Amino acid sequence: MIFDTGLSSAMEITVNVMMIVLTVALLMAFFRLVKGPTLPDRVVALDLVAAIAVAIFAVYAVVVDQPVFIDAAIVLALIIFLGTVAFARYTERRGRP
Partner 1 sequence: MSEVIIVILMATGAALMLLAGIGILRMPDLFTRMHVATKSATLGVGCVLTAVAIFFGDVGVFTRALLVILFFFLTAPVGAHLIGRAGYIVGVPLWEGTKWDELKGKYDHSNHTLNSPKTLKTRVPDPDSPHARDDT
Contacting residue, 29, 34, 64, 79, with partner 1 by CB under 8 A: 29
16 binds partner 1 (CB under 8 A): no
Rounded Cα gap, residues 18 and 63, in angstroms: 11
Rounded Cα gap, residues 32 and 49, in angstroms: 10
- CA distances to 6, 28, 89 from 52, rounded to whole Å, are 25, 11, 24
Residues that bind partner 1 (CB under 8 A): 8, 10-11, 14-15, 17-18, 21-22, 24-29, 31-32, 38, 40-41, 43-45, 47-48, 51-52, 54-55, 58-59, 61-62, 67, 70-71, 73-74, 77-78, 81, 84-85, 87-89, 91-92, 94-97
